[in-house]
Amino acid sequence: MLLFGSDHFDQTVSQFSLAMGAAIHTSHPQCKFLPHMLARFCNLEMRNDHLTEVAYKWCSMVCESQSSLENREELLLLSLEIGFRHISPKDSWIEARLTHMESHQKMVDIVFQSGESEAIADLLCSWTSRSALHNPHPSLKTCAQYLVGLSHLQPFSPRLQQAIITSIGLIDHKEFEQVGMEGIIGLLNGLYVHLDNISNIYEWTGLLLSIVQSPEGIQYASHQYWELLVELVGFSPWGLECNTCGPHIMKSLEDAKEWEKLECYMGIVWIKWSMGKIDEELETDEELEHITLSLFQQRPGAIQRLEHWVGEVSPHSARQRSKSFQQMFDEVYLNGGQQSVQ
């Protein structure tokens, strides 16, 4: 009886790996039996780190083979399933130590073109994983253009959704900007991202800031991402650049009467203000107060929301407001006789 996790099991896996490699490289007729044999590994209820490492090597073998290999796609998808289907896409740290080969880059075209949701999640798990001896695959950034093209698979399975979220957090947000804002916005609007799904706050913050400051973001980005951005900024306000919140964005949202989005954006601006990071384009605090009051006039409930968001970072603030948002509102609309902000 072959015991999982035993030395005998690992030896058997290694011997099978040698036989599989020889069959693939010589285009042996017995290659047609390989899918059936790999399927037996897929039925294992538990898989150890050695099997994950070897399965990743199988992926390289398959990718190195001639494209004429009859069951090339099937062998690759099965190898990925054996190595990574049991791994959570949220936990990028694994004990297995993967060796990234140049041939692994060929997986991207094959797997994404297959349209198999779980296989795509397997690939993303393999490339976002890290251990003491390996980092995420350096070519992960090439997946950006493929990720924005996954809208046809929506609604995503929970596993694929988390794999996409983890991958986005490990890809420089500029890669998505190059692909195009409409593409990434379309992808995000089909996801349900929460703060606890995100492991790389810095990249997600940079990506969402780029989106909300674009014409496409103002028009098409779901409100949930504006609110998520406030949460991210509040969680780590020190990473904001000094030029991230220009007044032209606030004016654009005000003109478009996008009051919900303006509420979130003003939360970001005031958090930034409290951290002592002021835009050069924002000439005076009075200009900031003017737009804030315009928001309060249209959306009085924003007063408490802004108090909450800015209050969350107040222990770390470099600047303190002389009056609360409620006092600011009362001075103009109550004491000032309900005057409007011009």
Which of 168, 199, 225 is where one domain is finished? 225
DSSP per residue, 205-271: HHHHHHHHTSHHHHHHS-HHHHHHHHHHHHHSGGG--TTSS-HHHHHHHHHTT-HHHHHHHHHHHHH
Domain of residue 309: give its range.
236-342
Q: What is the pLDDT along the chain (342 residues), one digit of tens a residue?
A: 344 456 778 888 888 888 888 888 776 667 788 888 899 999 888 888 999 999 999 999 999 887 667 789 999 999 999 999 999 998 889 999 999 999 999 999 999 999 999 999 999 999 999 999 999 999 999 999 999 999 889 999 999 999 999 999 999 989 999 999 999 999 999 998 999 999 888 889 989 999 999 999 999 999 999 999 999 998 876 656 645 566 788 888 999 999 999 999 999 989 888 887 666 555 557 878 888 999 999 999 999 999 999 988 877 676 777 789 999 899 887 765 555 444
Residue 258 and residue 158 in one domain: no
User: 121 and 159 in contact (C-beta within 8 Å)?
Assistant: yes
Q: Does 10 map to a domain?
A: no
Residue 86 and residue 201 in one domain: yes
Residue 216 and residue 240 in one domain: no
Q: Does 23 map to a domain?
A: no
Exposure class string for 244-269: b at 16+ Cβ within 10 A, else e: bbebebbebbbeeebbebbbbbbbbb
Kind and range of the H or E run holding 144: helix 144-147
Residue 167 and residue 124 in one domain: yes
Q: Does 16 map to a domain?
A: no
Which of 172, 192, 225 is where one domain is finished? 225
Residue 180 and residue 245 in one domain: no
**CA 305, CA 165: separation in Å to the nearest integer?**
27
What backbone torsions phi and psi does residue 243 show, to the nearest 5 degrees? -110, 25
**CA 154, CA 67: separation in Å to the nearest integer?**
30
Residue 220 and residue 240 in one domain: no
Residue 104 has which token pair? 């692994």
Residue 88 and residue 215 in one domain: yes
Q: Does 210 map to a domain?
A: yes
Cut 0.85: pTM above it = yes
Q: Does 87 map to a domain?
A: yes
Residue 330 and residue 220 in one domain: no
Residue 157 and residue 284 in one domain: no
Residue 318 and residue 205 in one domain: no
**132, exposed or middle or buried, with CB in 10 Å at 0-12, 13-18, 19+?**
exposed
**334, exposed or middle or buried, with CB in 10 Å at 0-12, 13-18, 19+?**
exposed
Residue 209 and residue 277 in one domain: no
Q: Does 244 map to a domain?
A: yes
**CA 206, CA 35: separation in Å to the nearest integer?**
43
Q: Does 47 map to a domain?
A: no
The total domain count for the chain is 2
Q: Does 49 map to a domain?
A: no
What's the residue count for the chain?
Answer: 342
Helix then strand then coil, % of the chain, to nearest 5: 65, 0, 35
Residue 194 and residue 306 in one domain: no
Which of 204, 225, 246 is where one domain is finished? 225
